[in-house]
Amino acid sequence: MILKGCNRFQMIGLEAVAKLAQVSSATASRALSRPDKVALETRTRVLQAAEELGYQPNHLASGLRKGKSRTIGVIISDILNPGQAMLAKGIQDAAAKSDYTVFLFNSDEESDKERRALESLRGHMPQGLIVVPTPGAKTNLKLVPNLPTIELDRASGLKNAHTVMVDNIGGTTTAINHLIGLGHKRIAMIVGDFAISTAVERHQGYREALEHAGIPYREDLVLAGHHREDGGRTAAHKLLSKPLKQRPTALFVGNNEMTIGAVLATRALGLSIPEDISIVGFDDSRWAMTLHPALSVVSQPAYDLGYLACETLLGLLERHKPPNASSVRLATNFISRESTAPPRKT
Amino acid sequence: MILKGCNRFQMIGLEAVAKLAQVSSATASRALSRPDKVALETRTRVLQAAEELGYQPNHLASGLRKGKSRTIGVIISDILNPGQAMLAKGIQDAAAKSDYTVFLFNSDEESDKERRALESLRGHMPQGLIVVPTPGAKTNLKLVPNLPTIELDRASGLKNAHTVMVDNIGGTTTAINHLIGLGHKRIAMIVGDFAISTAVERHQGYREALEHAGIPYREDLVLAGHHREDGGRTAAHKLLSKPLKQRPTALFVGNNEMTIGAVLATRALGLSIPEDISIVGFDDSRWAMTLHPALSVVSQPAYDLGYLACETLLGLLERHKPPNASSVRLATNFISRESTAPPRKT
DNA sequence: AACGCCAATGTAATCGTTTGCAGTAATTAA
DNA sequence: TTAATTACTGCAAACGATTACATTGGCGTT
């Protein structure tokens, strides 16, 4: 009681507002959040007092009392990846619209970092979670067993999960069909890590499109790039070093980073795009557009994806929906630029 | 008291741990955070109980009580800008190392969004703030008068501010000197918004370098690009449409986004880089590297900048440093690639 | 033996906000 | 006139963790 007047953040609390408005703190609280429960005259008095003192509610306290922190946790794989950054932006905007605040973390595709992020998060009592799951998510998510969670961009494989993803299979088949339509027969693919659902689905799309066109699936044309630029580079190098007759005439790359590597490897080998090799990447970006020749890509509605994921989560929080699994797929968009052309006549 | 056993988050509180360990909650608390104040035997008992119940401390509660939330607010200008994303990453990593959690916001260079971010932030009782200030920051920051704040990348102009920035003047003069060294005389610049300190400093660096080389400063060679791609495009278009004798032979662009616009405008006009025009950008990025020809740039140590800003802030929080202003400048690094060459012989 | 001291623990107040309950006054119904 | 209803308001108990203060018992000193 001794230090009552000297709070640490020189906080102006409800108590102070109440005193100035000559009401109890209970009434002051109601005046601010339950206008109908308080006489108009009293209410204006409280509002004025709050204004005068520059009162700002303390979310820690109200969060503690109400059991709602008005925060959500977000774990993306890598803020430096433009697609992921776009996801984050969509989430942020949706959250801000409903007055939620976001704790943002990067997993850098490492399950360990994901786990640490979840541990940090836990103590802050977020009301929900949006996560781009790493391969370890199935285990890690047990750390927050009762937290409403949306899996974004990929699925962890957990039953009863809510997911918001793109139509990877459809996006890929469109791209491959485009290449087939141009006359390509030897179409290679650089795939990501099969522990990540997008890689599996994109691979499946590739396979299905070939099959559908009656082109046999050849294992030697599918190399793993491990989601990284370096992996893309070495995979592309290997594919493009084949003797001309076996060398693919088109290359489909399963993600952003690997595509850069593939393009650089192509340049390094002195091959020209699209004359020697057509290339299609997954996920659009600034560099894909400004590249010369500009890259044809399967583009994802990343902003919408993030926005939608957040809206879905908040919907889950507001109306106490049953915890049934839900699954949303957004369509991709194939953008044909300059990196694809018919194969050279042989 | 009625619902004591049925907490909302099915929270396991200290109370529960204490009961299981047969001590008071006070002792349980001490066992966890003040090991030396508790008998070893008791401590292990508490730790074991905590482990068994999967106890997780509630930061809302401890934050409320201690007046320390272990969170910091971060407002960057745009998460989609790779440089800014890198700042965020540096901050995050530094924060995580000291067990702080980050509230991340985007201002999108709009003072209004910055203000709203600060308002959101306020209620969550962050212990500090790192902000890439918009032009309105000088006003906006009054919303959080006693919050330890680091200004990152730019200065708001507030007295007594702590700033962490790069040496914009030095970085620019190096770049301009490089162009001068190649033999350029008509060197144009596309500047940003002078309400932002980096634009002012980079412009000053440009001016100083010319002066030092005895080249007169010409107002018609300096155009505003307003920090956006579009602005860069129109400014470059105007500059490069001049009659050959007056057309600049080199172009220095004050930031990332504007540089893209400038490059696209150059391409659109059918001019080739670096034969017709040498271009240097400020701030490196993936597209600057992969561009053909690869762009020469003044690169900033963005990760370090963010990391350092966070460390500085946390330092301020830990040891109760006096609130003197401080100012850190990191050096830039000029990267010479393929977009600069001697001017054409006339 | 009497005293002081220290270590270990418990009691209870506190952080700021919310809310069930109870109380008061004013209004309406009977 | 009395009872019942309504509309406001205040009291006080939460939320979970921390910590000043009080209490206990054990030890050493004189």
What is the chain A residue with the closest CA to B7? A67
Look at residue B10 and tell me whether its pLDDT is greater than 90: no
Give percent of chain A with pLDDT exceeding 70.
96
B165-195 pLDDT tens trace: 999 999 999 999 999 999 999 999 999 999 9
Give the closest nucleotide to B55 (alpha carbon vs C1'): D16
- Confirm or reject CATH 3.40.50.2300 for domain A70-166+302-330, answering yes or no: yes
Least confident stretch, A272-276, A318-322, B20-24, B201-205: A318-322
Q: Residue B292 has which token pair?
A: 């053909």
Quick check: B60 and A71 CB within 8 A? Answer: no
Q: Residue A181 has which token pair?
A: 């339509």
Return the CATH fold of B168-300.
Rossmann fold (3.40.50)
What is the chain A residue with the closest CA to B81? A82
Contact B340, B182 (CB under 8 A): yes
Running DSSP on this structure, what letter comes out for residue A3?
T
Q: Using omega within 30 degrees of 0 as the cis cutoff, is the peptide bond preceding A293 cis?
A: yes
State the average pLDDT over residues A229-251. Answer: 97
Burial class (CB in 10 A: 0-12, 13-18, 19+), A213: middle
Quick check: B104 and A102 CB within 8 A? Answer: yes
In angstroms, the CA of A249 and the C1' of D16 are apart by 64
- Residue A178: which of A216, A217, A204, A205 has the closest Cα? A205
Contact A71, A124 (CB under 8 A): yes
Quick check: A101 and B99 CB within 8 A? Answer: no
Q: pLDDT value at position B322?
A: 65
Which pairing describes strands A326-330 and A296-299: parallel, antiparallel, or unpaired?
unpaired
Please name the residue ranges forming H helices in chain A.
Answer: 14-21, 25-33, 40-53, 59-66, 82-97, 111-123, 137-140, 168-181, 197-212, 229-240, 256-268, 286-290, 302-318
- Residue A333: which of A201, A132, A170 has the closest Cα? A170
Quick check: A56 and B101 CB within 8 A? Answer: no
Confidence of residue B6 (pLDDT cuts 50, 70, 90): very low
> What's the gap in Å between the CA of B312 and the closest CA on chain A?
20
Strand C reaches within 7 A of the B298 CB: no
Q: pLDDT value at position A53?
A: 95
**Residue B94 carries which side chain, given as an amino acid letter?**
A
Q: pLDDT value at position A322?
A: 64
Q: pLDDT value at position A324?
A: 82
Alpha-carbon distance of A128 to A146, in angstroms, equals: 9
CATH architecture observed for domain B70-166+302-331: 3-Layer(aba) Sandwich (3.40)
Alpha-carbon distance of A120 to A269, in angstroms, equals: 46
B255-273 pLDDT tens trace: 999 999 999 999 999 999 9
Residue A17's region, left for phi above 0, alpha for psi from -120 to 50, else beta, is: alpha
> Which residues in chain B, range 95-134, keep a C-beta under 7 Å from any nucleic strand C atom?
none
Instruction: Provide the mean pLDDT of chain B.
Output: 94
Task: Report residue A204: phi and psi, to 5°.
Answer: -65, -40
Residue with the larger pLDDT of the pair B3 and B92: B92
Give percent of chain A with pLDDT exceeding 90.
92
Least confident stretch, A139-153, A231-245, B312-326: B312-326
Q: pLDDT value at position A8?
A: 47
Q: Where in chain A is the domain with CATH 3.40.50.2300?
A: 70-166+302-330, 168-300
Q: pLDDT value at position A152?
A: 98
In angstroms, the CA of B22 and the C1' of D29 are apart by 35
Q: pLDDT value at position B3?
A: 30
Give percent of chain B with pLDDT exceeding 70.
96
Return the CATH fold of A14-57.
434 Repressor (Amino-terminal Domain) (1.10.260)
Q: What angle do CA A10, A14, A17 make, to 5 degrees?
A: 90
A37-79 pLDDT tens trace: 999 999 999 999 999 999 999 999 999 999 999 999 999 999 9
Q: Where in chain A is the domain with CATH 1.10.260.40?
A: 14-57
B99 touches chain A (CB under 8 A): yes
A67 touches chain B (CB under 8 A): yes
Alpha-carbon distance of A225 to A324, in angstroms, equals: 35
Q: pLDDT value at position B112?
A: 98
CA Rg value for chain A? 26
Which residues partner with A150 through β-bridges?
A130, A162
Which residues have Cβ atoms closer than 7 angstroms to strand D? A 22-27, 30, 36-43, 61, 64-65, 67; B 1-4, 7-9, 11, 13-15, 25-26, 29-30, 32-34, 55, 57-58, 61-62, 64-66
B112-153 pLDDT tens trace: 999 999 999 999 999 999 999 999 999 999 999 989 999 999
Task: Please list every residue in chain A whose beta carbon sits closer than 8 Å to the beta carbon of residue B286.
Answer: 260, 285-287
